[in-house]
Amino acid sequence: MAPKGFRAAGIACGIKKDGSKDLALIVSEVPARVAGLFTQNRVKAAPVLYTRKRIRRGVARALLANSGCANACTGSRGIEDVRRSVEATSRTLGIPREDILVASTGVIGEPLPVERIEEALPRLSQLLSPQGFKDAASAIMTTDTVPKLAERTLMVRGKEISLLGMAKGAGMIRPRLATMLAFLFTDLEVPPPLLRELLLEGNSRSFARITVDGETSTNDTVLLFANGASGVSLREGIVPFRDLLFEVMEELALGIVRDAEGRTKVVRITVRGARTSRDASKIAFRIATSPLVKTALFGQDPNWGRVMAALGDAGVAVAPDLVQIRINDLPVVKGGTQDPKYDEEKVSASLKGKEISIVVDLHLGEGSYWVWSTDLSYDYVRINASYRS
């Protein structure tokens, strides 16, 4: 069920070759406050350029999102196709163009089949419903195997407020400020500056800490809508809502990692004892994106030398003879060399599990950081070798 005042729908309009759902529409019955984060990739898709500009108003009523075509690297035609899809949505819903945001995901470099979107919008709008979010979440999937949804409710002074989030992403994941696509909706009233502040903080604890392959998309977008339809203002319950928002964002982020292309392992990499948290972050992501580390984990090979080599190549000053590493809480490295208590059989057996923990202690300071990552399997290569087909 949607937060009060929100309706959603998702259908197949013919963008995807396999006939699966590929067009989603979410509408607020009243103007909603909105904040957004977007890819830091300098190559930005047309919908990112459009929505990033529109969102400066801080108000929106509708979001139109498609999968199957990224509408990226499509030049002036891409911008024109966004404009056409927005105008068609405006006509269909009877709301101003300025109140409509857009997002896309899919193959880069192909033109958006905007005629199919224009033709499908009347049918899509008729299906709008508070129960339509699962269809909408399915319509933004690409190589995802399951729709990703998370929801929470909270009672504040006898009134219920709701929060619902959806996300898509399975490959091309190394978010920088955002993830592939993530949309969050609440019926709470939240002032615009606070809305963005909450989104930034939540993002830093969730989407910004995941990686599948170290790749940053041209289309990354995170949007947070708050329409106030519950009749409750955030001022009356800021701490509980903040916690709820972060829970939902973290659940969606971890859902992306669990559904990663070809994944057989979910890996949490923790770096502590760094001089600064920034240093810890650089090292954690360097380990998390190392093809050698990821393939060793896929092969259940406790090749700790791969981890040592990666952390030493993160562009951060380290003292190798102070480094300590534990895998699944088992001793592996101490003082930069193999720990005397290292038991290869035990470590190797622990790598057969689907959840892996790698903890690196640099013993240089108080800085720490963690990220969620995956292994790198044959299936990942297969999926991406045939992505456009």
Mean pLDDT confidence for 84-104? 98
Given a cut of 90, whether residue 189 has pLDDT beyond it is yes
- State how far the Cα of 258 lies from the Cα of 360, in Å rounded to an integer: 23
Residue pair 211/174 in contact by the 8 Å Cβ criterion: yes
Of 2-16, 231-245, 305-319, the poorest mean pLDDT is in: 231-245
Q: Which CATH fold would you assign to the domain 266-385?
A: Ubiquitin-like (UB roll) (3.10.20)
Q: What is the pLDDT of residue 178?
A: 58
Structure confidence at residue 383 (pLDDT) = 76
Q: What pLDDT is recorded for position 172?
A: 58
How much is the pLDDT for 379? 83
Average confidence (pLDDT) over 264-283:
97
Residues 282-313 pLDDT 10s: 999 999 999 999 999 999 999 999 999 999 99
Whether the pLDDT of residue 72 is over 80: the answer is: yes
- Nearest Cα to Cα of residue 172 among 305, 301, 72, 98: 72
Topology annotation, domain 6-258: L-amino peptidase D-ALA esterase/amidase (3.60.70)
User: Domain-by-domain residue ranges, the chain?
Assistant: 6-258, 266-385
Average pLDDT over residues 317-343: 97
Whether the CB-CB separation of 101 and 62 falls below 8 Å is answered with yes
How much is the pLDDT for 173?
Answer: 61
Task: Tell whether the model's pLDDT for residue 347 goes beyond 80.
Answer: yes
Q: Burial, 258: exposed, middle or buried (Cβ in 10 Å; 0-12, 13-18, 19+)? A: middle
Residue 359 has pLDDT above 70, yes or no: yes
Q: At 110, is the pLDDT very low, low, confident or very high (cuts 50, 70, 90)?
A: very high
* Beta strands per DSSP E along the chain: 6-11, 23-38, 59-66, 100-104, 148-156, 159-168, 181-186, 221-226, 266-274, 324-327, 330-334, 337-338, 355-361, 367-374
Is a pLDDT exceeding 90 seen at residue 384? no
The average pLDDT across 16-36 equals 96
The pLDDT, as a whole number, for residue 4 is 97
Instruction: Work out the pLDDT band at 175, boundaries 50, 70, 90.
Output: low
Q: What is the mean pLDDT of the chain?
A: 93
Residue 56, pLDDT score: 95
Residue 388 has pLDDT above 80, yes or no: no
Which neighbouring-strand residues pair with 48? Answer: none
- Let me know if 179 is a catalytic residue: yes
> Which tokens belong to 274?
């760094």
Contact present, 259 and 372 (Cβ < 8 Å): no
| Averaged pLDDT, 107-134 | 97
Amino acid code (one letter) for 176? R
Task: Give pLDDT, residue 378.
Answer: 84
Task: Using the predicted structure, report yes or no on whether residue 171 has a pLDDT greater than 90.
Answer: no
Least confident interval from 4-18, 67-81, 259-273, 330-344: 259-273
Bridging pattern class, strands 23-38 and 6-11:
antiparallel
Whole-angstrom Cα distance, residue 232 to residue 167?
26
User: DSSP character for 119?
Assistant: H
For residue 157, the model assigns a pLDDT of 80
Instruction: Kindly report which listed range (21-35, 158-172, 262-276) carries the lowest average pLDDT score.
Output: 158-172
Find the catalytic residue in 89, 92, 179, 374: 179
Q: Beta-carbon neighbour count of residue 372 at 10 Å?
A: 22
| pLDDT tens digits for range 149-170 | 999 999 888 889 999 999 998 6
Q: Whole-angstrom Cα distance, residue 13 to residue 195?
A: 33
Would you say residue 75 has pLDDT above 80?
A: yes
